[in-house]
Amino acid sequence: MRKFRLTTIAYLAIVVLFSSVTTALAVHEDVIVDEIPASDAAFALETVATGFTSPVWAINAPGDNHRLFVVDQVGTITAIKLDPGKNRTVPDRLTVLDVGADGLGLLVPLGAFGPGSFDERGLLGLAFHPEYRKNGLIYTYTSEPASGPADFSTIAINFGPDAMLYIAVGDGGAADDQGDGHAAGGNGQDLSDGNVLGKILRIDPMGANSANGAYGIPADNPFVGDQGADEIFAYGFRNPYRFSFDSETGRLIAADVGQNDIEEIDVVVSGGNYGWPVKEGSFLFDMNGSERGFTTDFSPGVPAGMIDPVAEYDHDEGISVTGGFMYRGNKVEALRDSYVFGDWLRRLFHLTSDGSIAELNPVGPTGLEVQITGFGQDRRGELYVLGQPGFTPVGTAGVVMKIVDP
């Protein structure tokens, strides 16, 4: 049983390695021959807020129907009012937390390869406790200088409809889930003592039966009683970058960033094994020792017991998937009941009624002229596309755009 650290504002110190985008940029293979078609869903993008650096996540607070809380990678959480002019006692824009260099100074200096360079670290996640209106608790994910071993490497946190906190954990960096810090056969498949890498975890932040007494282990977790695996909800992931819960069905939907060939969307269930690194998407994967790993045969359903993605695309179409949300709003009827997500290379997608991927192209004066850095969802189920025009967390050109009827 691993000792995680949770506080009222839970700053989770981590070590992040930078393979997910840099590896993908170097390799483009046409593993899936069919091209992603254009969607016939008509929509537009309406700019609702600017002046961010690299906005990566946006959600509402429980009970707050009029504001969206935007997470900026450089360390700020900003509340933006969605209906300016109404309720004049609420400011149109308010910085509610700053853990960056100009605030509490908790983050590592950004710029993995020097000032102004690419970086995946920073303030990357925010979750409001379901009882936030009563207890005021929020949980954040930050990259902080570690005085000792980091808590764990993770990309996303989110509360489920069961009021449990779900935590998405990458496989530990490097390539092909092997090398220093990786178990034989890959961290993604390793359920041995204390290995939470390549997993989605589930904990009760209000409980106290963990090894350190700081949180709880839900009794119905699938591996409760297995040494060191109590917190694990599902496994076999490489880099689950953004997951969300469908507000109507409660389904957990995750985007898993691939290695060299396949980006995937998974519907995650308790105890599920999603394949990595035995598989990359629906394809068998060869770790290939000291050489570059590669996909081999298209192999849906094999090996038995591994769950294939509900959708996937290859690196001829993009390089790094960013998970989004099921659209449950009312503004764009053509997107109703479909899952909206994107790729870092300025591509916006949704899953159609038959489960296939189609590309979304906005109409009107505001096109998709930014790298997609994240998505947001408000209380009414309307969706927001977050982005910035560059590849590095600098500047103030980051933007929040709402998906609207054209």
**Average pLDDT rounded to a whole number, residues 174-202:** 93
**Average pLDDT rounded to a whole number, residues 353-358:** 94
CB 136 within 8 A of CB 63: no
- Domain 19-29+56-334 sits in CATH at 2.120.10.30
Q: What is the pLDDT of residues 48-104, one digit of tens each?
A: 999 999 999 999 999 998 899 999 999 999 999 998 777 777 789 999 999 999 999
Q: Is 132 helix (H, G, I), strand (E, B) or coil?
A: helix
Q: In what order do the strands lie in the sheet with 371-377?
A: 44-52, 398-404, 383-388, 371-377, 55-59, 67-72, 76-81, 93-98
Cα separation of 177 and 306, whole Å?
Answer: 17
For the ranges 9-18, 22-31, 114-123, 249-258, the maximum mean pLDDT occurs at 249-258
CB 348 within 8 A of CB 313: no
Q: In what order do the strands lie in the sheet with 262-268?
A: 240-245, 252-256, 262-268, 311-314
Q: What is the CA radius of gyration of the chain?
A: 20
The whole-number pLDDT of residue 170 equals 93
For the residues of 91-109, what is the DSSP string, one character each? -SEEEEEE-STTTT--SPP
CB 62 within 8 A of CB 130: yes
Question: Which amino acid, one-letter code, is at 160?
Answer: G
Q: What residue spans define the domains of the chain?
A: 19-29+56-334
* Owner of token pair 């009021």: 163
Q: How confident is the model at residue 151 (pLDDT cuts 50, 70, 90)?
A: low
Nearest Cα to 284, choosing from 256, 317, 262? Answer: 262
CB 203 within 8 A of CB 210: yes
Q: Token pair of 14, please?
A: 């981590």
Q: In what order do the strands lie in the sheet with 279-280?
A: 279-280, 283-286, 294-298
The least confident of 10-19, 196-205, 318-327 is 10-19
**Average pLDDT rounded to a whole number, residues 347-361:** 96
Cα separation of 376 and 378, whole Å?
Answer: 7
Q: Count CB neighbours of 303 within 10 A.
A: 11
Q: How confident is the model at residue 15 (pLDDT cuts 50, 70, 90)?
A: very low
CA atoms within 13 A on the CB side of 18: 13
Share of the chain above pLDDT 70, in %: 91
Centroid of chain to Cα 227: 28
